[in-house]
């Protein structure tokens, strides 16, 4: 049981508070600080360690450095089609229009992208993108993004609080006016008052057992927003990245970049067959190669050939891998083979995919320049998230903004690879600017009502006070089993109903979590505070998935295999929490103007 | 619609290779900043597991409050640096089977930084030193134009950008490892990479070696290459960053004629400033 001093807390006041220091959070903090606003940045880990470092392949921006034919309209169209037309069209448009300038800006701040022959930024092919569009640095683009923003942030007027876990947003009436959390290193509480709060907390992969997400992906921002009365949308859309590591078990789920396929890698089954040609859906048939020869020619000539099916959007590839394995044509450890060894020289592979080479060599004892990798789908990215305004990233509660993976709408039903890093910088900038303008426009600093602090502190510390009770690790593990087996890649109503019942049970048990020891860097305590968020996010995913009676993008229903244009193609699922109840309604999808609609009519190839 | 029975269930299940393969004798440092001791544990180990997996099993089963810092578990974030059998390693990239069989595995926090709790150290020294490096200022990009840089001119710097900030190079650097008193005056190898960038970026308008020498304590380094040897990203810190800066310092700072020239041009600059 911790000492009594823990009921005391430190206080800080800011115009803008950013929660999360991945690419989106740091970009938002930078922009907010430019306006003269005072900015605080709180992050769960050390600065520069956020999950953005795991992004490998690149950031999509229609700079047209490799293919002159590329422009924002093509990027916009690819993004919408990849998202199965459920994206917020305005976000997709802003993203496509502004991404190139944001990439050049990173270069101004010191990022060193790989170059073309004539010294411009080189761009790489990726799934769902018509042209080579991803600015990259080998296969460690996320690291470059993080480090560049980190150094830039360091020299701005941004106060960084590292290793702070935020447990609740603070409110005054309807408005969000700050946040409360604890310092993981000391176990002491910290109150951050702010006129505007930007959530940039990333994803929620940790509701699943096999995920590419680090321990941090516990849906904190989704839950914080939900608890503060904000709406979440489209939580059923969870992207399974088709290629996660399968073996060894301890590395299962770890990401294998799509860049492997972008650079020529192909998927094979146990018979050595390039099976993706058997899985080209009608939606993408016109733009996908139907022979290996055409697919192979495409790498050098995108204009006269169509894209190989290995580069279909991620949802399509993940389902195909699943089907091959189920048909008994999988690899020994439960996936399929990803082969670049037979396609590119060892030197090329090491140069273009150094961290993949490193990862497989050290963790699996596999040399990818001579052997195939074993890969299978892994929970990677949640498309759904906090409902935001397209221009400002404002959530549905005043004073609250959300950006990056924790926000929803931009990617629709399925995100294209490479569109995440560009999302972070485009909307990070927009959120930072809008939140600062809102904050600076407020007449007075909102006062946090002190009375709300004590109950939150007491509740957060409560698990220490129980001598016996539930182990938070066990609850988390059980939740992961439920989600993996009942709300996974293929869903059906009876299993989701079962999942909802089990989540309700887990929620009951979570009221009785007990942890031991001190408060300093206590991982058990971290788990205890994560579990509440994980359970609510898992319920949102399950409820939304149960409600959407169609299959689309990152949501496949065995009992409703068809895509339903007339109803589900026109609405977002909207989730809201009142008291203990999570409710769901449908809201109409924003309609894109005629000139943008026209872009889809002319698409043939 | 397919029958439920034929329906593929969730994700493909891996062939279960995760049967416990044996146990390991672990000797783990437990303690806060002031006191501590090694505590022995016997832990299950499965095929293919790394040291961090075993530490997590300890947390979940035997020592719920064992403090360890980690994130990506893929060697990309540099959070889980610690000393395994006396050597600085990333716990997430050290496979148990690569350690001597049948021998106790000793796990301790990094030695050069103050212990916060168990395996977690206070690495703020490194962040402060990074902050002291002047911000990179590039030649301005003209309206409507893009920067042009040749791949061969940036490859050298891209090597430095591989740094995952595990701070193991800082940890082994003997200038500070057992000499806390040197910390105020010495930035350390990770930070020298950043100083070197001021010179080596093709569009940079600055020089790094002088500040690295005057403010970063470059002169303390006597190129024993401990930093390069420990780097998990195989960055040639000494050969490619530190030595070239030392050479430029020798050229510019200690070469008498250049030195006189510097003084003259500094005076000239001062005069011109006055005129304005």
B128, B116: one domain: no
What are φ and ψ of residue B117, in 5° steps? -165, 130
**C-alpha distance from residue A603 to each of A77, A78, A91, A276, A529 (Å):** 9, 10, 21, 23, 48
Indicate whether A105 pLDDT > 70: yes
pLDDT 10s digits, B209-229? 889 999 999 999 999 999 999
pLDDT in tens, B124-181: 999 999 999 999 999 999 888 899 999 999 999 999 999 999 999 999 999 999 999 9
- Containing A124, the helix (H) or strand (E) segment is strand A123-124
Q: Which residues 6+ apart lie within 8 Å of A103 measured at CB?
A: A59, A61, A63, A113, A121, A135, A422, A425
Both B193 and B78 in one domain: the answer is no
Instruction: Please give the pLDDT value at position A8.
Output: 84
Return mean pLDDT, chain A. Answer: 94
Q: Is residue B269 part of a domain?
A: no
Name B109's Cβ contacts closer than 8 Å, sequence gap at least 6.
Answer: B29, B82, B83, B115, B118, B119, B120, B121
Q: How far is B275 from chain A (nearest CA, A)?
A: 32
- Answer whether residue A444 shows pLDDT above 90: no
Query: B11 in a domain, yes or no?
Result: no
Q: In terms of domains, do B132 and B240 share one?
A: yes
Q: Do A45 and B141 touch (CB under 8 A)?
A: no
Count of helix runs (H) and strand runs (E) in chain B: 10, 7
Beta carbons of A523 and B66 less than 8 angstroms apart:
yes
Q: Are residues B93 and B131 in the same domain?
A: no
| Position B72 in a domain | yes
Residue A156 touches chain B, beta carbons under 8 Å: no
A241 is catalytic: yes
Averaged pLDDT, A128-137: 96
Tell me, yes or no, whether B184 and B116 share the same domain.
no
Residue carrying structure tokens 């007491």: A458
Q: What is the pLDDT of residues A393-411, one digit of tens each?
A: 999 999 999 999 999 999 9
Is the pLDDT at B79 greater than 70? The verdict is yes
Q: Determine, for residues B157 and A112 on separate chains, whether the beta-carbon distance falls below 8 Å.
A: yes
Q: Across chain B, what does the average pLDDT equal? A: 88
Please write the tens of the pLDDT for every residue from B16-42. Answer: 334 457 999 999 999 998 999 999 999
Contact B159, B239 (CB under 8 A): no
Q: How many helices (H) and strands (E) are present in chain A, helices listed first?
A: 17, 18
The model's pLDDT over A533-545, given as tens digits with 9 standing for 90+, comes to 999 999 999 999 9
Contact check, Cβ <8 Å, B75/A359 = yes
Task: Give residue-wise pLDDT tens across range A329-347.
Answer: 999 988 999 999 999 999 9
A3-8 average pLDDT score: 58
Residue B265 belongs to some domain of the structure: no
Residue A377 contacts B, CB cutoff 8 Å: yes
Same domain, B104 and B157: no
Q: CATH number for the domain including B32? A: 3.10.20.30
Residue of B nearest to A321 (CA): B12
Query: What is the rounded CA–CA span in Å between residue A405 and residue A425?
Result: 12
Question: In terms of domains, do B247 and B131 share one?
Answer: yes
Long-range contacts of B268-271 (CB under 8 A, 24+ apart): none
For testing contact with chain B, the best of A320, A523, A561 (most B CBs within 10 A): A523
**Is position B9 within any domain?**
no
Interface of A with B in 170-199 (CB under 8 A): 185
- Is residue B48 included in any domain, yes or no? yes
Q: State whether B117 and B128 are in the same domain.
A: no
Q: What is the rounded distance in angstroms from the CA atom of residue A144 to the CA atom of residue A111?
A: 6
Same domain membership, residue B128 and residue B36 = no
Asked if residue B3 belongs to a domain, the reply is no
pLDDT in tens, B88-108: 999 999 999 999 988 999 999
Q: Residue B184's domain is classified under what CATH number?
A: 1.10.1060.10
Residues of chain A neighbouring B163 (CB-CB closer than 8 A)? 147
Q: Which domains does chain A have, with CATH numbers?
A: 59-139 (no CATH), 242-378 (3.90.700.10), 466-566 (1.20.58.100)
Name chain A contacts of B60, Cβ cutoff 8 Å: 471, 473
Q: Does A350 touch chain B (CB under 8 A)?
A: no
Question: Do B250 and B131 fall into the same domain?
Answer: yes
Determine whether the interchain pair A363/B50 forms a contact, defined as Cβ–Cβ distance below 8 Å.
yes
First-to-last CA distance in chain A?
65
The pLDDT assigned to A511 comes to 96
Q: Residues near B142 by Cβ (< 8 Å), separated by ≥ 6?
A: none
- As for how many domains chain B has, the answer is 2
Measured in angstroms, the CA of B18 and the nearest CA of chain A are apart by 6
Direct distance between the N- and C-terminal alpha carbons of chain B, in angstroms, rounded to an integer? 84
Q: What is the mean pLDDT of residues A355-378?
A: 92
Residues B189, B167: Cα–Cα separation, whole Å: 9
* Residues from chain B contacting residue A53 (CB–CB below 8 Å): 72, 76-77, 164
Task: Check whether B267 has a pLDDT greater than 80.
Answer: no
Give the residue-averaged pLDDT of A40-47: 98
Does one domain contain both B112 and B172?
A: no
More confident residue, B65 or A589: A589
CB contact under 8 A, A45 and B71: yes
Q: Where in the sequence is the domain holding B181, given as residue range(s)? A: 124-136+150-259
Together in a domain, B40 and B79: yes
Rounded distance between C-alpha atoms, residue A524 and residue A516, angstroms:
8
For residue B15, is it within any domain? no
**Cβ separation of B65 and A522 shorter than 8 Å?**
yes
Instruction: Assign A2 a pLDDT band (cuts: 50, 70, 90).
Output: very low
For the ranges A145-149, A300-304, B3-7, B202-206, the lowest mean pLDDT is seen at: B3-7
Angle subtended by helix axes A141-154 and B151-161, to nearest 10: 80
């Amino acid at each position: 049981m911790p000492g009594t001093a823990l009921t005391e807390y430190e206080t800080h006041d800011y115009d803008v508070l950013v929660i999360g220091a991945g690419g989106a959070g740091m970009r938002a903090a930078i922009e907010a600080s430019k306006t003269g606003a005072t900015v605080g940045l709180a992050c769960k880990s050390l600065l520069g360690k956020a999950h953005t470092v795991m992004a490998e392949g690149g950031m999509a921006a229609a700079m047209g450095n490799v293919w002159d034919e590329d422009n924002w309209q093509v990027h916009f169209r690819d993004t919408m089609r990849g998202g199965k037309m459920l994206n917020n069209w305005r976000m997709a448009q802003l993203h496509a229009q502004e991404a190139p300038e944001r990439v050049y800006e990173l270069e101004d701040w010191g990022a060193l992208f790989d170059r073309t022959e004539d010294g411009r930024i080189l761009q790489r092919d990726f799934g769902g993108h018509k042209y080579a569009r991803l600015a990259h640095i080998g296969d460690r683009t996320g690291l470059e993004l993080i480090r560049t923003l980190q150094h830039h942030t360091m020299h701005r007027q941004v106060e960084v609080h590292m290793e702070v876990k935020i447990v609740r947003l603070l409110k005054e009436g309807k408005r969000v006016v700050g946040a409360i959390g604890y310092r993981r290193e000391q176990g002491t509480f910290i109150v951050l008052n702010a006129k505007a709060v930007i959530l940039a907390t990333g994803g929620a992969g940790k509701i699943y057992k096999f995920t590419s997400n680090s321990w941090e992906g516990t849906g904190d921002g989704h839950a914080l927003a939900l608890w503060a009365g904000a709406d979440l949308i489209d939580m059923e859309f969870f992207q399974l990245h088709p290629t996660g590591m399968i073996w060894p078990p301890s590395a299962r789920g770890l990401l294998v970049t799509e860049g492997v396929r972008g650079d020529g890698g192909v998927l094979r089954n146990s018979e050595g067959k390039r099976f993706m040609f058997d899985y080209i859906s009608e939606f993408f048939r016109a733009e996908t190669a139907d022979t290996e020869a055409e697919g192979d020619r495409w790498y050098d000539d995108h204009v006269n050939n169509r894209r190989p099916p290995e580069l279909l959007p991620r949802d399509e590839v993940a389902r195909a891998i699943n089907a091959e394995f189920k048909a008994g044509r999988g690899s020994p450890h439960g996936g399929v083979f990803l082969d670049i060894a037979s396609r590119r020289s060892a030197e090329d592979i090491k140069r273009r995919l150094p961290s993949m080479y490193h990862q497989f060599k050290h963790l699996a004892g596999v040399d990818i320049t001579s052997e195939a990798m074993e890969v299978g789908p892994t929970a990677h990215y949640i498309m759904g998230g906090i409902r935001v305004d397209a221009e400002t990233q404002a959530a549905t509660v005043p004073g609250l903004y959300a950006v990056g993976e924790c926000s929803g709408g931009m990617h629709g039903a399925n995100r294209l690879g490479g569109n995440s890093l560009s999302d972070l910088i485009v909307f990070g900038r927009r959120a930072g600017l809008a939140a600062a303008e809102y904050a600076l426009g407020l007449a007075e600093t909102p006062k946090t009502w002190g009375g709300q602090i004590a109950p939150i502190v007491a509740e957060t510390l409560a698990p220490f006070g129980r001598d016996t009770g539930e182990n938070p690790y066990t609850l988390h593990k059980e939740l992961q089993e439920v989600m993996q087996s009942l709300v996974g890649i293929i869903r059906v109503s009876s299993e989701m109903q079962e999942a909802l019942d089990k989540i309700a049970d887990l929620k009951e048990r979570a009221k009785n979590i007990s942890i031991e020891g001190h408060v300093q860097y206590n991982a058990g305590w971290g788990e205890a505070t994560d579990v509440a968020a994980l359970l609510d996010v898992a319920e949102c995913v399950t409820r939304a998935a149960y409600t959407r009676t169609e299959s689309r993008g990152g949501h496949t229903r065995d009992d409703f295999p068809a895509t339903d244009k007339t109803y589900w193609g026109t609405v977002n699922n909207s989730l809201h929490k009142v008291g203990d109840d999570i409710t769901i309604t449908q809201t109409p999808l924003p309609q894109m103007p005629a000139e943008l609609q026209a872009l889809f009519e002319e698409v043939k190839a | 619609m397919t029958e439920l029975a034929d329906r593929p269930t969730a994700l493909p299940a891996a062939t279960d290779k995760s049967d416990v393969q044996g146990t390991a004798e672990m000797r783990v440092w437990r303690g806060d900043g002031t006191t501590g001791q090694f505590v022995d544990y016997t832990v299950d180990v499965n095929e293919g597991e790394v040291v961090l997996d075993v530490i997590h099993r300890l947390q979940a089963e035997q020592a719920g409050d064992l403090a360890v810092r980690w994130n990506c578990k893929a060697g990309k974030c540099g959070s889980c640096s610690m000393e395994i059998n006396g050597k600085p390693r990333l716990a997430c990239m050290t496979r148990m089977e690569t350690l001597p069989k049948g021998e106790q595995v000793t796990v301790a926090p990094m030695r050069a930084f103050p212990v916060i709790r168990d395996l977690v150290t206070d690495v703020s020294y490194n962040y402060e030193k990074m902050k002291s490096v002047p911000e990179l200022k590039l030649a301005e990009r003209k309206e409507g134009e893009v920067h042009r840089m040749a791949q061969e001119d940036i490859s050298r710097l891209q090597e430095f950008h591989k740094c995952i900030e595990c701070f193991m190079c800082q940890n082994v650097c003997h200038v500070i490892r057992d000499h806390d008193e040197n910390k105020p005056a010495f930035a350390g190898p990770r930070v020298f990479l950043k100083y070197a960038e001021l010179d080596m970026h093709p569009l940079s308008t600055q020089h790094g070696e002088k500040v690295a020498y005057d403010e970063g304590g470059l002169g303390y380094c006597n190129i024993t290459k401990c930093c390069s040897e420990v780097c998990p990203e195989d960055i040639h810190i000494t050969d490619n960053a530190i030595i070239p800066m030392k050479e430029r310092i020798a050229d510019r700072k200690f070469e008498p004629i250049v030195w006189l020239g510097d003084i003259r041009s500094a005076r000239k600059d001062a005069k011109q400033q006055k005129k304005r």
